[in-house]
Structure 1
Amino acid sequence: MLSLAQRDPNEAHRASTPLELFVDLASVIAIAAAAAGLHHGVAEGHAAESVLTFLLAFGGIWWAWMNYTWFASAYDDGGLVFKTATFVFLAGALVMAAGIRAFFETHHPGLILAGYVIMRAAMITLWLAAAGQGSHSRTTCLRYAAGILVTQIFWIVLIAGFWQWSAPMLWLYAAGLAAELAVPIWAERASPTPWHRHHIIERYGLLTIIVLGEMLLAISSAIHGAQDPGHLNGALLRTAASGMLITFSMWWVYFCREDHLQSRAPARTFVWGYGHFLVFASAAATGAGFGVLTDVLTGHAHSGPEAGHRLIAASVGLYFAALWFIRDRFHHAGAPASILLLAGLGCFAAPLTPWPTEAVAVIAVAAASLRAWRIDTRSGKP
């Protein structure tokens, strides 16, 4: 019988493993494909449709990654069963990544579904193994396996049998998503899985670095595009400089002195864990926005610069507001608790200014600096 050993949730010096980093590498391929689809769709003048497609594709990537991450935190024993199932999971991630480009072009997620089902089948195997001999969370593990199985049947029937790009189908997709989100809530009510708090915080931080890397890639492309034969493109240089300031500020406000997740209470944990979808997606979308601006300023887009400005402003604003929602409002009181929320609102209004992306950069730097100064000053830290 397949079985996995439970990890100690209080284990000292728990860190991400090379295998987990390998999973992150496969995830970044899929994330890059989704961000590229958003970038090119908005540049071609299909902003609303591309944003929706991006959210659908990114949601599948994020959900599969998140489920694996929390499972590994509790049951990664480094054994043959875990490693083999993880390799199957990785294969599914690559199939999903291959299907994302086609999804943006045809709006049919058939190949994405194939990859997702492979990944989820690996998770069913892992949960059944975790429910094996000596497990203190057997009922929880069996609930996870059953819930994942039922939702996969739903997706296969919906997408393989009836899918078309229409409002009724999108509502059915939303119903399936709600069912997926409900599985962990239902399963954890039996007994909580023994996830490791510091390990989970590190895992989420690593994926944040990955999605911020999409911004660095876009900024590098802007710098390359500014090297026009005979003269420098000043608008692209301003875009690249603004991008650097925004990216550095987004990193700064995420990797702060405070612990991200100070409580293991289910309500707090689910808000933090699920709410990170907004953090990850908005960071990746910000990079896509800079890609759009680069295309516009180099004459390779059918949309105007306002499309890139709006995408950047909305994405950075959502990033700041999401961090306020999942972290700052729990940790602080008074003015420090509201800094990121106010910064997010300011970013949403930035497209109304003459220099939208530069305005977002100023807001981002001000928010990161003010937040660090107010919080560190109150805590007595240098």
Structure 2
Amino acid sequence: MVERVLKVLRFPPRDPAQAHRGVTPLELLFDLAAVVAIGAAAHGLAGFIVEGRPMAGLAAFVPSFFMVWWSWMNFTWFASAYDDGSNAFRGLSMTVMFGALMMAAGVGAAFAGKPIWMALLGFVVMRLGMALLWLGAWRGDPQRRPTAQRYALGIIAMQLYWIALVALVPPHAALYLPLFALGAAGELAVPAMAERRAATPWHRQHIIARYGRLNLIVLGQAFLAVVSAFELEPGSIFPRAEGVGLALIFAVIAFSMWSVYFTKEPHLVSGALRHSLLWGYGHVVVFATGAAAGAGMQAVLQSQGNGINGAHWSVAAPVALYCATLWWIRDRYALTGHRRWSLLVAAALVVTMEAIPGMELFSTAFILAAAALVRRVPAGSGVQAQA
């Protein structure tokens, strides 16, 4: 039986220079599984903000989002290099997806301060599927067998760490977050060590397209807030003027976040391992802040008339961090001239203007829209040559 399974698990490398490489329906299905888990995490964060406990919400949101993003990222880069369209690849991919759905079901426990056994079980299923995928790469790509072996062993070792953490340390313990951060650092170290000598044949344009689609998914949380702002009160024919105003502000913020991300300049200007890791890992902040901004919008809506102060910061803070991170991982490499600094300046202005009473969300929308316009001015862009 084992020998028969091993014969099926053989994934040869794909051509990293393949023309017109597109996103497959299977990958889109994987994104759909990820959006369920992301939505669950964003919903939990919004609830904590409304309760006036944003830091407690972030303490649950960040680990939950990291696990979802990490599994998505691992699968995305593997598929870019080894997706051969075989039944074996599809079966293991769906196994990983099923684990993502299990994880989504367990996210609520993290926000309730309970042991996250369901989320852990989902993560175990996802990581087991990834280990088997790397076993197939080990058999199908003799040139990069050491790389595949390091990936598989690293995944298994970190999985043992996570099981021990959840089993021995309750989520409310003081050591839980530091130990989680240690585990996250260990996970991030696996690709860095595995790809050091022989990089996998990932496809640059394919990776950029995959990241763009996940960003669309997280920005969908803001669209949900726009729809919620338009919802009618019982017995009403038209939405309240205040709701319409918030819907317009939320829409401007969402459209501007889309605009500053999807630009003509290259997203990944270098294929070097150091830069690829910075760009690939840095996106966890981009994605998380995109989802957090949508959660903050929901919190603003729920806090209207409830006497909750400072809810606007739950939108402004992630928006500022979103812009600053995009500058750090992309614009400082891709641009020269005044446009190079537009997102960094926008991040600073959003934080500054939010401190002025009465401006708040309007100033965030205005500054972000202005940054999006400045960012798209073609004159003097000075795009640097690829490294």
Report the TM-score when normalising by structure 1. Answer: 0.95
Partner of 2:241: 234
- Measured after TM superposition, the shift of residue 379 of structure 1 is 5.1
Q: Distance in 1 between matches of 2:156 and 2:172?
A: 25
After superposition, give the CA deviation of every residue in 1:181-219 in whole Å (9 maximum; x if it has no partner).
Answer: 000000001300000000000000000010111110111
Alignment of 1:46-125 (within 5 A): 46-125=53-132
- Measured after TM superposition, the shift of residue 296 of structure 1 is 1.4
- Measured after TM superposition, the shift of residue 347 of structure 1 is 1.3
Q: Is the Cα–Cα contact under 8 Å of residues 73 and 199 in structure 1 kept in the other structure?
A: yes
Residues 1:64 and 1:133: Cα distance change in structure 2 (over 3 Å): closer
Partner of 2:325: 322
Quick one: which of 208, 212, 228 aligns to 1:205?
212
Residues 1:231 and 1:209: Cα distance change in structure 2 (over 3 Å): closer
Q: Is the Cα–Cα contact under 8 Å of residues 337 and 382 in structure 2 kept in the other structure?
A: no
1:377 aligns with 2:384: no
After superposition, give the CA deviation of every residue in 1:18-74 in whole Å (9 maximum; x if it has no partner).
Answer: 000000000000000000000111111211100121111000000000000000000
Q: Distance in 2 between matches of 1:275 and 1:226?
A: 41
Residues 1:189 and 1:365: Cα distance change in structure 2 (over 3 Å): same
Q: Distance in 2 between matches of 1:311 and 1:45?
A: 11
1:342 aligns with 2:345: yes
Q: Distance in 1 between matches of 2:331 and 2:274?
A: 16
Q: Is the Cα–Cα contact under 8 Å of residues 226 and 237 in structure 1 kept in the other structure?
A: no
Question: What one-letter code is carried by the residue in structure 2 that aligns with 1:93?
Answer: A
Give the secondary structure class of the aligned counterpart of 1:131: helix
**Structure 1, gaps ≥5 residues long:** none
Alignment of 1:167-186 (within 5 A): 167-186=174-193
Partner of 1:150: 157
Partner of 1:351: 354
Quick one: which of 367, 371, 378 aligns to 1:367?
371
Give the secondary structure class of the aligned counterpart of 1:45: coil
Question: What one-letter code is carried by the residue in structure 1 that aligns with 2:363?
Answer: A
Question: What one-letter code is carried by the residue in structure 2 that aligns with 1:288?
Answer: A
Partner of 1:280: 287
Q: Distance in 1 between matches of 2:335 and 2:235?
A: 48
Q: Distance in 1 between matches of 2:372 and 2:233?
A: 28
Alignment of 1:302-321 (within 5 A): 304-307=308-311, 309-321=312-324
Q: How many residues align?
A: 375
Q: Distance in 1 between matches of 2:353 and 2:314?
A: 11
Residues 1:345 and 1:160: Cα distance change in structure 2 (over 3 Å): same
Report the TM-score when normalising by structure 2. Answer: 0.93
Residues 1:275 and 1:134: Cα distance change in structure 2 (over 3 Å): closer
Q: Distance in 2 between matches of 1:134 and 1:174?
A: 33
Give the secondary structure class of the aligned counterpart of 1:352: coil
- Measured after TM superposition, the shift of residue 174 of structure 1 is 1.0
Q: Distance in 2 between matches of 1:152 and 1:171?
A: 17
After superposition, give the CA deviation of every residue in 1:327-357 in whole Å (9 maximum; x if it has no partner).
Answer: 0000112321110001011112232122200
Q: In terms of mean alpha carbon deviation, does 9-18 or 350-359 score higher?
A: 350-359
Q: Is the Cα–Cα contact under 8 Å of residues 279 and 322 in structure 1 kept in the other structure?
A: yes
Q: Distance in 2 between matches of 1:226 and 1:359?
A: 28
1:214 aligns with 2:221: yes
Q: Distance in 2 between matches of 1:45 and 1:295?
A: 12
- Measured after TM superposition, the shift of residue 106 of structure 1 is 2.7
Give the secondary structure class of the aligned counterpart of 1:137: helix
Q: Distance in 1 between matches of 2:192 and 2:87?
A: 29
Q: Distance in 1 between matches of 2:330 and 2:233?
A: 38
Q: In terms of mean alpha carbon deviation, does 227-236 or 48-57 score higher?
A: 227-236
Q: Distance in 2 between matches of 1:45 and 1:93?
A: 29
Q: Distance in 2 between matches of 1:228 and 1:218?
A: 21
Q: Is the Cα–Cα contact under 8 Å of residues 114 and 170 in structure 2 kept in the other structure?
A: no
Q: Distance in 1 between matches of 2:184 and 2:381?
A: 41
Give the secondary structure class of the aligned counterpart of 1:378: coil
